[in-house]
Amino acid sequence: MNDYKATVAVIGLGGIGGVAAASLCHGGCHEVVACGRRPLDRLRLERPEGEVEVPIRTLTDPQDASPVDWVLLVTKAQDTASAAPWLERLCGPATRVAVMQNGIDHAARVKPFIGEAIVVPTIVYYNGERIAPDHVRIRHIGDNDMLAPDTEDGRAFAALFENVPISVGLSADFTTLAWRKLMINVVVNPITALTRLRQGVLQHTDIRNLTRQILDEAVAVARADGADLKDDEAERMAQFIGGFPEDAGSSMYFDTLAGRPLESRALTGALVEIGSRHGIPTPVNTSLLALTNAVSDANG
């Protein structure tokens, strides 16, 4: 039995980061520290398996941090640069940085801030909700809660969660699956943010039609960018999205209610930009981008 405990720093204690930090602490296999704006000594985690409360060590000043084995970067994509002081102190040449953010091009977004550390892109499927600074909730959405590339570093990331009730799958075709996750995000996030409604809004007939238009454009762009998608991909994805819990929110929904800037440029913006690069029109997504950017700028 391997008694080695990895040192793990979690940057960002929102819904996704809070769930990851609390789950790792509950597993008890690693030395976990949370990096954030306010000190916490405990985290309460609601989960289908039962509620738990765990002690957690937190840092609020990057100057108190030192290099670790793993950094879980769980800020919003647009806040990556603001995490630079943490990354500078936490990353050494042997550090692996798991980028648990929405969007694509994880490595390009993070590389300027981590020196010689290793980027491990991930896809997060579980729905994490931050109910209070010390209280988070997880909803399991698919067969895997997270996904990583089937590489040495991706397998090491999966091993990090071996004794934790968060499942990590591996894939040799990470590009396709990253695009599939982006397709979910460009539907769920803008619609819930603009309507200020949880995911039950996706069941409305008019919204179902809008979902299909968004996905038709997304599939065309994803294929041009190298994703290996099926002929009925848009329909399959629409059905999958339609099965999400009606009371679940989204990151942009919660940010809209809280008056925070939105991830629209990292999500829909990435789709529109890549579509333009390949000469593929995206009128529906371009319209949604204009609307969500307006909300984000007003919140900013």
* Rounded mean pLDDT, 108-133: 95
2, pLDDT greater than 70? no
Q: Within a 10 A sphere around the Cβ of 258, how many other Cβ atoms?
A: 9
Q: Are residues 147 and 233 in the same domain?
A: no
Please, what is the average pLDDT of the chain?
95
Q: Are residues 124 and 184 in contact, defined by beta-carbon separation less than 8 angstroms?
A: no
Q: What is the 3-state secondary structure (H, E, C) of 12-81?
A: CCCHHHHHHHHHHHHHCCCEEEEECCCCCCEEEEECCCCCEEEECEEECCHHHCCCCCEEEECCCHHHCH
Instruction: Assess whether pLDDT exceeds 60 at residue 1.
Output: no
For residue 141, being part of any structural domain is answered with yes
Residue 42 lies in a domain: yes
Task: Return all residues near 244 (Cβ < 8 A) that are at least 6 apart.
Answer: 127, 141, 188, 199, 202
Domain count, the chain: 2
Q: How far apart are CA 136 and CA 19, in angstroms?
A: 6
Could you list the active site residues? 181
Residue 56 lies in a domain: yes
To which H or E segment does residue 191 belong? helix 174-195
In a domain, 37, yes or no: yes
14 in any annotated domain: yes
25-57 per-position pLDDT tens digit: 999 999 999 999 889 999 999 999 899 999 999
Q: Is the pLDDT of residue 3 over 70?
A: no
**E strand residue ranges, the chain:** 7-11, 31-35, 42-46, 52-55, 57-59, 70-73, 96-99, 118-121, 123-124, 127-132, 135-139, 146-149, 168-171
Q: Which residues span the domain enclosing 270?
A: 175-299
Residues 151 and 190 in one domain: no
Average pLDDT (276-296) is 98
Nearest to 296 by CA among 237, 238, 255, 250: 255
Same-domain pairing of 255 and 153: no
What's the whole-model pTM score? 0.87
Q: Are 73 and 101 in contact (CB under 8 A)?
A: yes
Shared-domain flag, residues 60 and 84: yes
Which of 156, 172, 188 is where one domain is finished?
A: 172
In tens, the pLDDT along 154-208 reads 999 999 999 898 999 999 999 999 999 999 999 999 999 999 999 999 999 999 9
- pLDDT-derived band at 143 (thresholds 50, 70, 90) equals confident
Verify that 192 and 236 share a domain, yes or no.
Answer: yes
Residues 139 and 180 in one domain: no
Q: What was the pLDDT predicted at 49? A: 87
How much of the chain, in percent, has pLDDT values that exceed 90?
89
pLDDT (tens digit, 9 = 90+) per residue, 229-253? 999 999 999 999 999 999 999 999 9
Pairing of strands 52-55, 42-46: antiparallel
The predicted pLDDT at position 220 comes to 98
pLDDT for the residue numbered 105? 84
Q: How far apart are CA 113 and CA 59, in angstroms?
A: 19
CA distance 227 to 258: 34
Dump pLDDT digits (tens) for 250-268: 999 999 999 999 999 999 9
Length of the chain: 300
Residue 257 Cα distances to 64, 192, 252, angstroms: 33, 10, 9
Condensed to tens digits (0 to 9), the pLDDT of residues 61-80 reads 999 999 999 999 999 998 99
Judged against a pLDDT cut of 80, whether residue 4 lies above it is answered with no
